Structure 1
């Protein structure tokens, strides 16, 4: 599998509007972070993980071809705000969205025109599938397993795809979920900043979680501007943990 980091930023993106801190003023492209999203590709299959408000900008430079599934972690705008921009992919047939029942219900309220019986011409062609933690399903040749994590008090989903796992917006996770994260080759994990946050892991908490799982490669995502420059922060991280950046491409075994 090829993993492309389309965005690695928190809900405000980096630079943050109105901020003049050194990270927001940085000329290093690695310090420019669109909202978090990842694209998983094999020769046969293409999966989008989260579809935030920067999706149009993120997908334009890439080949225009079918997206076989869109996996949504939860309903917050920075993870679903780009769904309307999926409309061009309707030329390949309905776009398959996978989400929890709660997230699906929120989408039906926020994008009602996409789910009515008689749709206005040109709206996105979407098909919603409700998924539950631990109930695996297949997209093409890839097995996908949803995993439950806690975003403060809100239960949201992470996803394991083959030997890669994508977890964003996590603050805590039950020990019972760890069985579904064994044998990973790559962990994509949120690390917001160094100061404690009520609903997101700090960078230190993310590093400790990666160490607990003994994952050989971990890339941090959903990062804000309250950290140091990428070049500085990346050098401080422990072995096996790196800061992801927009446009980074890595390979991982599919199964």
Structure 2
């Protein structure tokens, strides 16, 4: 839901409305490469996020799953494509594309869909999707990015997952960077009602998969960026506008 939540007067939401350190938009990331930019997810703040980056257009979007907080910006992007007489390109496994067709049947007037279920090459990056458990919310897709050549690098984007099986964890090994969704530091709700790891559970996953570095994203108003959660030095909390060099 982003931070602040419109109905909430908690300390974190109040701070987000004033100094704004905890102001968070729906999770998204952008891969910048010589071949162009690839946006990961297109949520309801797509326009605001583009303005913050001083960008007027994006041509390529990779979708993790068809939930509102990850796709609600697609109609506005498609409208931008219409006004600019440009085609946008959406990449996702076929079952995600089919859901988009049911929810927004007009989008393909402006957007071209590409089934990337078997993987996608983006310049010197090989991008491989795999389905992960999203708890009570069904499933999501995570993506592993592997760069070969003179400067090899491997990282994964797994924004919406919980209770991963050994098979679902397998692509998370051998990474320089893991971007992982963690709603809270410790979530006390019944596990059957949950859909994303908390930080305590995520640390157990990191201890098992051992990435060189981890970035926690998809954080709710249960996380205060000003708080020292005593996380390992290799773990960082995502903030709006953060830039990372993948090398």
The TM-score with structure 1 as length reference comes to 0.82
Bigger mean CA deviation after superposition, 13-22 or 207-216: 207-216
Partner of 2:150: none
Pair 1:136 & 2:119 matched:
yes
Preserved CA contact (<8 Å) 2:97 2:115: yes
SS of residue in 2 equivalent to 1:250: coil
Change (3 A) 1:136 1:196: farther
Partner of 2:144: 160
SS of residue in 2 equivalent to 1:24: helix
Distance 2:67 2:206 in 1: 25
Write the deviation string for residues 72-124 of structure 1: whole angstroms up to 9, x where unpaired: 11111000000012233564842221123222122112211223xxx4xxxxx
Q: How many residues align?
A: 230
Change (3 A) 1:129 1:140: same
Higher relative contact order (CA 8 A, sep 6+): 1
Distance 2:127 2:81 in 1: 22
Change (3 A) 1:178 1:171: closer
Pair 1:201 & 2:197 matched:
yes
The TM-score with structure 2 as length reference comes to 0.85
Write the deviation string for residues 126-146 of structure 1: whole angstroms up to 9, x where unpaired: 1112233xx322123321110
Write the deviation string for residues 144-176 of structure 1: whole angstroms up to 9, x where unpaired: 110221001522201112322110110122212
Change (3 A) 1:165 1:65: farther
Partner of 2:131: 148
Q: What are the residue-to-residue correspondences of 1:1-255 with 2, within 5 Å?
A: 12-26=1-15, 27-64=18-55, 67-87=58-78, 88-89=80-81, 91=84, 93-115=86-108, 119=109, 125-132=110-117, 135-152=118-135, 154-162=138-146, 163-193=154-184, 194-197=186-189, 198-227=194-223, 229-233=224-228, 235-253=229-247
Structure 1 residue 68, shift from structure 2 partner: 4.8
- Where does the alignment leave 5 or more consecutive residues of structure 2 unmatched? 147-153
Change (3 A) 1:212 1:92: farther
Preserved CA contact (<8 Å) 1:170 1:199: yes
Bigger mean CA deviation after superposition, 210-219 or 56-65: 56-65
Preserved CA contact (<8 Å) 1:196 1:202: no
**CA RMSD of the aligned region, Å?**
2.0
Structure 1 residue 219, shift from structure 2 partner: 0.8
